[in-house]
Structure 1
């Protein structure tokens, strides 16, 4: 009869043997799989040495080799194989496509600078070709826009998409994105011209662009402001405040009307969004001052940023409390105007 100690020893031996057997079988299967995979690659490479292969047949074999590498997540092997092939076969008309696969492989491994290098190389050095119904150059430009963070480069890519592939992109969106890049680098003449081209598109007012909310109003405000005389702006917040207070004190509604911003001036309640207003407010201040004594708080109320401020006023017809909203002008296109202050709107009712 086996003792408890012997039983435990026997069970331990059985478990250890089972683990060894499992590992051995697994390794054997993996080895068989690797050998089969490598044999498949070698067999296809041998096929490439066959005489009288058509270009299409050669394309099919190389693509099969490449996709085999990809399916086994061997991106490094794929890159070495395809770059070597392009180097040694400069006349292969599909070289642009092979380098496209190389660039995609770098993207998959988060090596965007290398991917950008190959996408650029394809566009500069290889004629475009269509593979499976898709333009290789178009795919390169699409991916370059995704991974590039340089505005000068992105401007070049957007212009190429607009000029070379107008039927494959939303021209309206391209104009907006191109204008934003011009704005980023301070090319205001080109930015404003491109914003204007955006506004001229039939779907500009309705288009929804990811990561650019309210694109239409943004562009329209810039263009309208650029075309305006801008004669309602003040050198400083203090000078704007003083002028407003004096006009109210002296009961000069026409002067107040003249001091309002002539681009997107709003009059909304605190629950509304000034950007959702339906165009330039056209009412006369005199309609709401008539027969009333308007007073102002002694101090301005700071805004949510240093570039904003409020002046609380009371005594207006209907809703008696109005907050005049002042803001610093943000318009680098005109250095003489940029940084001045304007009366941009009115919030009606008590502050929330």
Structure 2
């Protein structure tokens, strides 16, 4: 009896080996030719592969290889519609095949290639919701689906769901730092400011937050730092209106009340820089006292705000400061902070520009 068992195992292994050799033979036979000969070879090759497919068992690597070769042949001949029909019919006919998630992934990619992103999105979501994850060539099918969904979905609500799934289920296989930032931006689009701030805080908590370069978000760290710090601050330097802020600043300058000027300045991300300098430059952040540059001097200010001022930003020209550049433009801006309706829309003195306007 043991000899009979060994013989059966040997015969089975031999059959698999012969089938594999047959696939290699068909691959060689299906190499690109020209005209009618090529079309005939393609049809014959596919016919033989379909015959082989009927003889193989479900959930085997051999069947996977056969189907993969059938799909490759369709792709090589640019027969995308036939390939979609083959893959979707196969999944319908064999619902328990463990590789069905992969066949549907190929289907989704074909629709992407055809420019039919909404249909591709349906297939990616179908895989996520209805099929267990599968690893092909060390790549997770679910991760690939979620990454594609993030790219093609136009719904912030859906993108939030996809980002959260990536972070929750695959924390060691994705860049959490980047995803926390992108998640925060999606929450902003939805007007979900509490969740946005929570995501910004999680972003800042990552070790590489201050160094990471995120495509299309050049100021990621500065943006997060500004919003989180502003949220955690008392915000007691803001004014109800631009007129009120302008009036108080001019009054303090006239009275040389430099302690008042220091109180009126924003306590979060206040800058002092030249017009050409980048606001994100660490050297633009200042902690000096206005007294150091104005005490004992006659500081003058323009009667009216600069003509470049608009409903959200304003500039007040001043001169006479104790500095290598004596002209300073005080920069006022409207506070954009929808999380707190009492603060949103108020005005703050946010910075100083050195020198005449460019």
TM-score for both structures, normalised by structure 1: 0.89
1:62 has 2:71 as partner:
no
The match for 1:291 is 296
Matched, 1:325 2:348: no
Aligned to 1:339: 345
Give the superposition deviation at 1:103. Answer: 0.2
Rounded Cα–Cα distance in structure 2 between residues aligned with 1:225 and 1:302: 29
Shift of the alpha carbon at 1:108?
0.6
Partners of 1:90 and 1:168 lie apart in 2 by 29
* Aligned residue number for residue 24 of structure 2: none
Task: State the partner residue of 1:161.
Answer: 166
Matched residue of 1:231: which SS?
coil
Once residues 137 and 258 of structure 1 are traced to their aligned partners in structure 2, the CA distance between those partners, rounded to angstroms, is: 53
Q: Counterpart in 1 of 2:241?
A: 236
For structure 1, the residue ranges without an aligned partner over 5 or more in a row are 1-27
Query: What's the CA shift string for 1:90-134, capped at 9, x where partnerless?
Result: 111111000000000001111000000000000100111111211
Equivalent residues in 2 for 1:83-122 (5 A)?
A: 83-122=88-127
The structure with the larger Rg is 1
Counterparts of 2:247 and 2:274, CA distance in 1: 25
- 1:181-330 correspondence to structure 2 within 5 Å: 181-278=186-283, 280-303=285-308, 306-318=311-323, 319-330=325-336
CA distance in 2, matches of 1:296, 1:105: 65
Whole-Å separation in 1 of the counterparts to 2:309 and 2:40: 67
Asked if 1:349 corresponds to 2:355, the answer is: yes
Unaligned runs of 5+ in 2: 1-32
Alignment RMSD (CA, Å): 1.6
| Residue in 2 that maps onto 1:17 | none
Say which of 82, 91, 115 aligns to 2:87: 82
The more displaced of 124-133 and 258-267 is: 124-133
Change (3 A) 1:62 1:188: same
Alpha-carbon distance in 1 for matches of 2:233, 2:184: 20
User: Structure 2 CA distance, aligned partners of 1:288 and 1:52?
Assistant: 85
Specify the SS of the correspondent of 2:213: coil
Q: 1:29 to 1:252 in 2, by over 3 A?
A: closer
- The range that moved more, 326-335 or 42-51, is 42-51
Any conservation in 1 of the 2:56–2:62 contact (CA below 8 Å)?
no
In 2, the alpha carbon distance for the partners of 1:234 and 1:174 equals: 35
- The one of 138, 141, 147 equivalent to 1:133 is 138
Question: Cα offset for 1:83?
Answer: 0.3
* Range with bigger deviation, 132-141 or 280-289: 280-289
1:177 aligns to what SS in structure 2?
helix
Deviating above 4 A after TM superposition, structure 1's stretches of 4 or more consecutive aligned residues are 51-54
2:59, 2:97 within 8 Å by CA — same for their partners in 1? no
Q: Are 1:264 and 1:279, in contact at CA under 8 Å, matched by a contact in 2?
A: no
Please give the alpha-carbon distance, in whole angstroms, between the structure 2 residues aligned to 1:156 and 1:236.
39
Q: Cα offset for 1:72?
A: 1.4
Return the alpha-carbon distance in structure 1 between the equivalents of residues 89 and 312 of structure 2: 58
**Distance in 2 (alpha carbons) for counterparts of 1:52 and 1:129:** 19
- Contact 2:256 / 2:295 at 8 angstroms: preserved in 1? no
Q: Is the 8 A contact 2:309 2:315 kept in 1?
A: no
Q: Relative to 1, partners in 2 of residues 1:279 and 1:223: Cα closer, same or farther, differing over 3 Å? A: farther
If the length of structure 2 is used for normalisation, what is the TM-score? 0.88
Change (3 A) 1:78 1:290: same
1:305, distance to aligned residue in structure 2 (A): 5.2
Aligned length: 325
